[in-house]
Structure 1
Amino acid sequence: MQIKDFTIDPDLKELTEHRTTTLPIACYHTTISHNINGYIPMHWHDEFQFVLIMKGQAVFQIQEESVTLDEGDGLFINSGCLHLARDNHHSGCVYICLNVSPSFVLSQELFRSHVYPYIGATNLPYLRLTPQEDWAKNIVDAILEIDRLIRQSPALYQIDITIQLAHIWRNLVANGFPLEYKEAEMLKNHRMKNMLNWIHLHFAERVRLEDIAKEGQLSRSECCRYFRRFLKKTPLNYVMEYRIQKSLTLLQQPEYNVTDVAYQVGFNSTSYFIHQFRKSMNMTPLAYKKQKN
């Protein structure tokens, strides 16, 4: 199974329910290029995410940092951290994505002392899992085993999954990563989410840099620095990109023509929408609409 169209609420929190029928986890194979946007857009969720690259090469951005992963590499993304993923060099990247509720990793009695401190650590948005290191290879092997258990569902597989999750967490903790808690980092993350939240609520309206900066309680110049650090683009470029993203789903609806969609996502000119869409998608909105209908 693959999630092709990420459903997120206005503050970028993913709304996909990450669970099997009985367990608060989800494990699926993702082909990045098959997503409706052609990449996995910026989002966050409460679940821990473990990634294992099965084919190709991917670039993940987590908060302000980027990491390139090759086949066989893994990644841990912490709860609540903004992240996105792109296929690198059109490699046809496929990865296993394992999302798990933090409260399910260990028993309730151990959660407060052995899991919760990691959720709040400001220096742990992610950990790269390099199979050459024993602790990381153990985690990678456990991801593969959980994937197998979910696909094959042998007798008592739910119990076996809980064993593998405990094994994953034990190896992560045993790595001895020093935890830090910096108020400035927490505030920075909060401000970025607030600004993105405002854009996602108001993208169809007139959007000014001043409005975005105000939502983050920042000056215009500092707001631009935030966006360049987190998203490698200006705030208004992000607004443009987000409008194009939102247009993709609307263009697949037969009741809307290109002009309807242009105005619904915040453009006041159909020709400018067509120009920006072509720049982003390498085709016109009409060609995209015909392709998807």
Structure 2
Amino acid sequence: MKLALRKSIENQVASFTMQELTAPHFDPNWHFHPHYQLFTVEEGTGTRFIGDNIQPFEPGDTVFLGPNIPHLWRSDPAYFQTSSGLSTKGIVVYFTEDFLGNDFFKRPEMHGLQSFFTDATRGYEITGVLKSQIRERMHKLLQASGFQAILQLLSILDELAHAEECQPIASLGYVNTHKVSETERMQKVHDYVLDHFRQEIRLDEMASLAGMSPSAFCRYFKTRTNRTFSEFVSEVRIGYACKLLIEGKFTITQICYESGFNTISNFNRQFKEITTLTPAQYQKAYQ
């Protein structure tokens, strides 16, 4: 398995990096890096992990992340099958806070952007009309170069900094407590849960996978994710259930069992605890 390490994204010929990503699936590794990141999904579905937040993603999902916040766009299982014919596509922009010099964003005129960068430690989900506008501007940014590229990026950042349609993603007070040396252990946990959440997941098996006793694993997981392991599993299952509800191909009872729950009552209770809606209300609200 490829190790999930702290990434370093550098561009030797420009002050920031733009990439159009096309691959059978998105990078399956839980990782973080010292760059700010603006990312939009063009094609693909799956589960998004940012800090201590878990949500399903689909085309149009657009976020802005601060440095060193762990994240992962885990494509649905079908994308890992070589014969599926599926592929993912996205546009990403990486830059450091000093990409225009050490003091550029410390100038009085940059106060709004500086505050936006500070709050981005939780990550921002871009919503509403602004989401489509930012995605369109990211397409144009791909075609720009030199001074025009810098002007366009600054204009995008300024719009985000003053918009109401940027919603925090990670919980208030979230701090990345992961060490580079520990990311492989958390990667194993993420991979196992995402591959087996439809089945019973035993705590002792997970603890053994992480090389810990069950009690030590519970403390470790809670410290680094701000949730218990059972809460994490439930959120993964509910995230998958949300995707199935949106697709509308199964009944709610079928979705309950497809998502790894054993009883409809437990499914309904946990679904409402996490989303504040019943499955039927969630489906109706989306439609």
- Using the size of structure 1 for normalisation, the TM-score is 0.53
Equivalent residues in 2 for 1:157-172 (5 A)? 157-172=145-160
User: Closer, same or farther in 2 for the Cα pair 1:193/1:50, shift >3 Å?
Assistant: same
Distance 2:181 2:223 in 1: 10
1:59 alignment counterpart? 47
1:148 counterpart = 2:143: yes
Distance 2:60 2:211 in 1: 43
- The answer to whether the 8 A contact 2:16-2:95 is kept is yes
1:82 counterpart = 2:84: no
Match of 1:104 among 99, 102, 109: 99
* 3-state SS in 2 of match to 1:104: coil
2:182 alignment counterpart? 196
2:267 alignment counterpart? none
Match of 2:122 among 122, 125, 139: 125
- Give the aligned residue type for 2:124: L
1:194 shift after superposition: 6.5
- Give the aligned residue type for 1:137: S
Match of 1:24 among 3, 7, 16: 16
Distance 1:101 1:13 in 2: 15
1:29 shift after superposition: 1.4
- Give the aligned residue type for 1:23: S
- Give the aligned residue type for 1:94: K
**Deviations 1:18-53, CA, capped at 9 Å, x for gaps:** 3252323232314252x6xxx430111111111122
1:229 shift after superposition: 5.5
**Structure 1 residue ranges without an equivalent (≥5):** 150-156, 201-205, 214-218, 235-293
- Give the aligned residue type for 1:133: V
**Identical columns (%):** 12
1:224 counterpart = 2:221: yes
- Give the aligned residue type for 1:13: R
- The answer to whether the 8 A contact 2:38-2:62 is kept is yes
Equivalent residues in 2 for 1:197-212 (5 A)? 199=185, 208-209=211-212
1:147 shift after superposition: 1.5
User: What RMSD over aligned residues (CA atoms) do the two structures have, in Å?
Assistant: 4.0
**Structure 2 residue ranges without an equivalent (≥5):** 80-85, 187-208, 232-287
Distance 1:164 1:225 in 2: 41
Q: Greater CA deviation, 18-27 or 49-58?
A: 18-27
**Deviations 1:111-142, CA, capped at 9 Å, x for gaps:** 46344444443x75222223x423x3332222
User: Closer, same or farther in 2 for the Cα pair 1:159/1:7, shift >3 Å?
Assistant: farther
- Using the size of structure 2 for normalisation, the TM-score is 0.54
1:74 shift after superposition: 1.6
* 3-state SS in 1 of match to 2:7: coil
Q: Which has the higher contact order (CA 8 A, sep 6+)?
A: 2
- The answer to whether the 8 A contact 1:103-1:111 is kept is no
1:137 counterpart = 2:132: yes
2:7 alignment counterpart? 14
Q: Greater CA deviation, 220-229 or 137-146?
A: 220-229
1:69 alignment counterpart? 57
Distance 2:228 2:17 in 1: 28
Distance 1:165 1:27 in 2: 14
- Give the aligned residue type for 1:223: Y
* 3-state SS in 2 of match to 1:222: helix
